[in-house]
Amino acid sequence: MIVVPFCSLVLTVIAAHFVLGPIGWKIGSAISSVVFSGITGDFRVIFGAIFGFIYAPLIITGLHHMTNAIENAAAQEINVPAWISSWLGVTEPAIFGVNIPRLFPLICGMTGSACAAVICVSTTTTANAIGVGGVPGILSIQPQYMPTFALAMLAAIVVPFVLTVLVGKKRGVDAEAEAAQRAAEEEAAAEAANAEAEKNLVSENEFKAYLDGKVISLKEIGEGVFSAGMVGDGLAIIPSNETVCAPVSGKVTVLMEDSKHAVGMQLSNGAEILIHVGIDTVSMGGEGFEYLCKVGDVVKAGTPLLKFSKGAIKKAGHPDTAVLVVTNPNGVDFKFNSGMQAKTGKTVIATC
């Protein structure tokens, strides 16, 4: 237990130090030499533009740190400071969170970086050492080059900003914002309508069938929790169709967003009911289920609430029996009718 890991560690250190290390050093030196030749040669302006343009993608891969050896000969002995924002040099959050998902801001930013690189290379702007990133990076620049570095930073800020605004307008970003605003207004209007409808809910003393099929008592389900009445009193329907409808008017209060197999409602008299499709179908993770309502909706008897697939439930090895239970009677007495064939929205299955 001790010797084997120790020997493995020794071999790994030897391999890294004497084999992988020299190889990596040679590769890094070769890359550094190419880049250094590019930014100091006759075509340094063109090379600077290209290198500046691809710098953002290099950040994604982490390969941008290879240039540290060019920026400062003693880079291996210097730790890269931790930057707290893009203005201070930390651009990964912006790149991964904003630029990459929309893509065009990434291209605009790369273009601005190319412009900044052209300015720096063409003016031979030089730093004393690797310092902080972003705008404060000017503190690391040799004094005589600070004005040109400031100009480069201005280009790196202004060019992407202007391009992003122009391209964004052309690509319809404003239209997206307007669409989002309209969606928010429509949602607010729907909430107001639901609130008004909730005020006007009429107390109903009859429950209509929420599915087509045979109505059975809870004991006939043959499943411990519902059959024993642990969730509440009620009944069940062995369905012949696949759309659950509201048995009575009320407000949708509970939805299972992960499994989509159940709907909870609150009635005008304060009682609460739950319609549960299938036995143990929560394990299906929502496959074969689709909600036709959302929490807060005020619905009338017969309003479609949920669609499900009898085939998917059967394939998963579960009964498709749909249970209705009163989870909170709120002092209301219920009487349930079973032992008959029901038609959705027509057959009376309970009274209160």
Question: Please, which residues bridge with residue 307 across strands?
Answer: 243, 290
Contacts of 87 (CB under 8 A, 6+ apart): 134, 135
Q: CA-to-CA distance for 64 and 262, rounded, in angstroms?
A: 52
Token code pair at residue 316: 């998963």
Strand order across the 243-245 sheet: 243-245, 304-308, 289-291
Q: CA-to-CA distance for 133 and 87, rounded, in angstroms?
A: 8
pLDDT in the model for residue 73: 41
Higher pLDDT, 328 or 21: 328
- Is the CB of residue 125 less than 8 Å from the CB of residue 119? yes
Report pLDDT digits (tens) over 147-188: 998 998 899 889 988 988 888 777 765 666 677 777 777 878
- With 70 as the cut, is the pLDDT of residue 132 above it? no
Q: Which residues of 122-131 are buried (b: 16+ CB within 10 A; e: fewer)?
A: eeebebeebb
pLDDT in the model for residue 16: 52
pLDDT in the model for residue 255: 95
- With 50 as the cut, is the pLDDT of residue 18 above it? yes
- With 80 as the cut, is the pLDDT of residue 343 above it? yes
- With 50 as the cut, is the pLDDT of residue 75 above it? no
pLDDT in the model for residue 58: 60
- With 80 as the cut, is the pLDDT of residue 222 above it? yes
Contacts of 144 (CB under 8 A, 6+ apart): none
- With 70 as the cut, is the pLDDT of residue 94 above it? no
One-letter amino acid of 288: G
Express as a percent the part of the chain with pLDDT over 90. 38
- Is the CB of residue 289 less than 8 Å from the CB of residue 343? no
- With 80 as the cut, is the pLDDT of residue 90 above it? no
pLDDT in the model for residue 13: 52
What number is the average pLDDT over the span 288-302?
93
pLDDT in the model for residue 78: 34
- Is the CB of residue 271 less than 8 Å from the CB of residue 258? no
Band (80; pLDDT cuts 50, 70, 90):
very low
Report pLDDT digits (tens) over 232-290: 999 999 999 999 999 999 999 999 999 999 999 999 889 999 999 999 999 999 999 99
Higher pLDDT, 263 or 20: 263
CATH class of the 206-351 domain in this structure: mainly beta
Closest CA relative to residue 221, chosen from 316, 320, 291: 320
The position carrying tokens 């893509």 is 103
- Parts of the chain belonging to CATH 2.70.70.10: 206-351
The residues carrying an active-site annotation are 276
DSSP letters for 228-259: TTSS-EEEEEEESSSEEE-SSSEEEEEE-TTT
